[in-house]
């Protein structure tokens, strides 16, 4: 099983609030690396569980306190403490004896995934904040007793990508449709994120759906993209999109890896630290770093950071990671848990640090934590620049997603 027992060699931090301390513990062997990583991830899981519990009670709120030197999350109903994550034997009154109750996070501020951060906005662009709808999910894939075949993995790649794009578009206020066609349109200035991600159409209805998507793009005065995967019908959808005025914009290979087979012994530079993004300052640094080498640069990074700020950091299905080398930001990634698998997005290394294993390191970091959470399959759609990197760490292609793009003149 590739990579088992090698975590101490990679010297990568998962340091939540105590990243530097955890990094040094792993580096110098003061705590077994596997146990350290599990402990760091468990803290994130506890916070997510506390938020979810608080969402089920009247006046739900959470507060982080320390008990016997360890962080715990106390769940409140109005002003009454009701439980903790992780559970503790001490009375709640004792746990809260020195707590500052004014620092409680209310669920209304935290939904749909964490504390609401200030929005990163484009000048003169108003993007209303909408509540995310419930998105359909596939069952967990890749159980040991059943090897997922290529068709199942292709469906998982499409499903995770669709949920990812729909969630970001909805956070931006896009108009959604979820029947024989799935789309979010109008919530982003970026063509990739005004996205059509599903179609189960016949020859009689296909052209009208394409025309309707064009009308929405024109009404919102934004560019958009049909992400045409292998499940989308009819079979000649690409030709119909070209006839309607969309332009073919290339193909993305859809790739997957069983996380137990993840190759984790990729070399990375000494001094590299990969840690989750937890707060506004981290998010600003993450976005500034992403802008140095991904997609449309600052324009895309600013919008993406705004959406992540609305969705919440470190809780729910979204985790962002920032890589630093000797204290300087050098790379980014994010992991989205959807459709029963862990999807990897926004993998970027700043140009001057490329070719040193940083892209592989940030990808591995996020997938290791997903594996600790019980996920067994990782998926992504690759750029030409990243494909060889992903293949080295175990990813294989299982489908192709063709992109058809339209933009207002």
Q: What is the CATH number of the domain that holds 355?
A: 3.40.630.30
Question: Does 153 map to a domain?
Answer: no
Residue 252 CA to residue 157 CA, distance in Å, equals: 11
Residue 172's pLDDT is 94
DSSP assignments along 354-369, one per residue:
TTSSHHHHHHHHHHHH
Tokens of 168: 């970001």
Residue 88 CA to residue 69 CA, distance in Å, equals: 13
Task: DSSP letter for 241, please.
Answer: H
CB 268 within 8 A of CB 357: yes
Q: Show the beta-strand stretches assigned E in 288-360.
A: 318-325, 328-338, 341-349
Residue 315's pLDDT is 61
Of the candidates 110, 128, 154, which is a domain's last residue? 110
CB 321 within 8 A of CB 265: no
Task: DSSP letter for 151, please.
Answer: H
Question: Does 73 map to a domain?
Answer: yes
Residue 365 CA to residue 32 CA, distance in Å, equals: 17
210, containing H or E segment:
helix 203-220
Q: Show the beta-strand stretches assigned E in 40-165.
A: 60-67, 70-77, 80-85, 105-106
Residue 344's pLDDT is 98
Of the candidates 73, 93, 110, which is a domain's last residue? 110
Strand partners, 199: 181
Among candidate residues 44, 2, 70, the one with its CA nearest the CA of residue 275 = 44
Question: Does 93 map to a domain?
Answer: yes
User: Any idea how long the chain is?
Assistant: 409
Q: What is the pLDDT along the chain (409 residues), one digit of tens a residue?
A: 333 333 333 334 333 333 333 333 333 433 443 444 445 456 666 777 787 788 777 778 888 888 887 888 898 887 888 889 888 888 888 888 888 888 888 875 333 333 333 333 323 323 233 232 332 333 344 333 345 578 889 999 999 999 999 999 999 999 999 899 999 999 999 999 999 999 999 999 999 999 999 999 999 999 999 999 999 999 999 999 999 999 999 999 999 999 999 999 888 889 999 999 988 899 999 999 999 999 888 999 999 999 998 888 766 688 999 999 999 999 999 999 988 899 999 999 999 999 999 999 999 999 999 999 889 999 999 988 789 999 999 999 999 999 999 998 7
Residue 173's pLDDT is 94
Residue 349 CA to residue 365 CA, distance in Å, equals: 14
Residue 137 CA to residue 285 CA, distance in Å, equals: 32
Question: Does 222 map to a domain?
Answer: no
- The structure tokens 């469906």 sit at 155
Residue 248's pLDDT is 97
Query: Hey, how many other C-beta atoms are within 10 angstroms of the C-beta on 56?
Result: 10
Residue 315 CA to residue 115 CA, distance in Å, equals: 9
Residue 313's pLDDT is 75
Of the candidates 87, 110, 133, which is a domain's last residue? 110
Tell me the whole-structure pTM to 2 decimals. 0.67
List the domain range (segments joined by +) for residue 346.
258-400
Among candidate residues 30, 110, 156, the one with its CA nearest the CA of residue 310 = 110
Question: Does 364 map to a domain?
Answer: yes
Question: Does 224 map to a domain?
Answer: no
Total domains present in the chain: 2
Question: Does 219 map to a domain?
Answer: no
- Sign, CA dihedral 116-120-123-125, equals negative
The answer to whether the peptide bond before residue 86 is cis (omega within 30 degrees of 0) is yes
Residue 176's pLDDT is 93
Residue 46's pLDDT is 75
Question: Does 235 map to a domain?
Answer: no
The overall longest dimension of the chain from CA atoms, in Å, is 70
DSSP assignments along 169-199, one per residue:
HHHTT-EEEESSEEEEESS-SSGGGSEEEEE
């Amino acid at each position: 099983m590739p990579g088992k027992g090698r975590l101490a060699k990679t010297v990568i931090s998962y340091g939540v609030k105590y990243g530097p301390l955890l990094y040094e513990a792993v580096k110098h062997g003061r705590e077994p690396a596997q146990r350290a990583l599990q402990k760091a991830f468990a803290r994130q899981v506890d916070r997510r569980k506390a938020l979810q519990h608080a969402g089920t009670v009247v006046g739900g709120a959470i507060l982080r306190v320390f008990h016997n030197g360890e962080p715990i999350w106390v769940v409140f109903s109005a002003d009454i403490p009701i439980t903790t994550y992780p559970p503790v034997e001490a009375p709640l009154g004792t746990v809260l004896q020195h707590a500052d109750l004014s620092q409680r996070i209310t669920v209304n501020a935290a939904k749909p995934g964490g504390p609401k951060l200030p929005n990163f906005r484009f000048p003169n662009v108003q993007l209303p904040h909408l509540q995310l709808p419930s998105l359909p999910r596939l069952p967990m894939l890749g159980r040991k007793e059943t090897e997922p075949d290529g068709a199942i993995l292709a469906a998982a790649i499409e499903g995770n990508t669709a949920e990812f794009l729909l969630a970001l578009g909805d956070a931006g206020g896009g108009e959604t449709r979820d029947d024989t066609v799935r789309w979010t349109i109008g919530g982003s200035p970026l063509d990739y994120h005004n996205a059509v991600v599903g179609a189960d159409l016949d020859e009689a209805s296909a052209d009208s759906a394409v025309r309707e998507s064009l009308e929405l793009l024109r009404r919102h005065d934004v560019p958009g993209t049909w992400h045409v995967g292998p499940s989308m019908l009819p079979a000649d959808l690409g030709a119909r999109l070209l006839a309607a005025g969309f332009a073919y914009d290339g193909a993305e290979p859809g790739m997957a890896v069983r996380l137990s087979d993840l190759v984790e012994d990729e070399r990375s530079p000494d001094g590299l630290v990969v840690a989750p993004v937890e707060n506004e300052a981290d998010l600003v640094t993450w976005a500034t770093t992403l802008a140095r080498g991904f997609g449309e640069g600052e324009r895309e990074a600013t919008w993406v950071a705004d959406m992540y700020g609305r969705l919440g950091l470190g809780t729910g299905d979204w985790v962002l990671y920032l890589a630093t080398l000797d204290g300087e930001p050098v790379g980014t990634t994010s992991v989205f848990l959807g459709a029963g698998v862990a999807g990897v997005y926004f993998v970027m290394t700043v140009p001057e640090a490329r070719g040193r294993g940083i892209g592989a390191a940030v990808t591995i970091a996020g997938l290791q934590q997903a594996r600790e959470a019980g996920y067994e399959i990782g998926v992504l759609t690759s750029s030409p620049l990243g494909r060889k990197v992903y293949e080295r760490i175990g990813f294989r292609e299982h489908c192709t997603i063709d992109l058809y793009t339209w933009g207002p003149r």
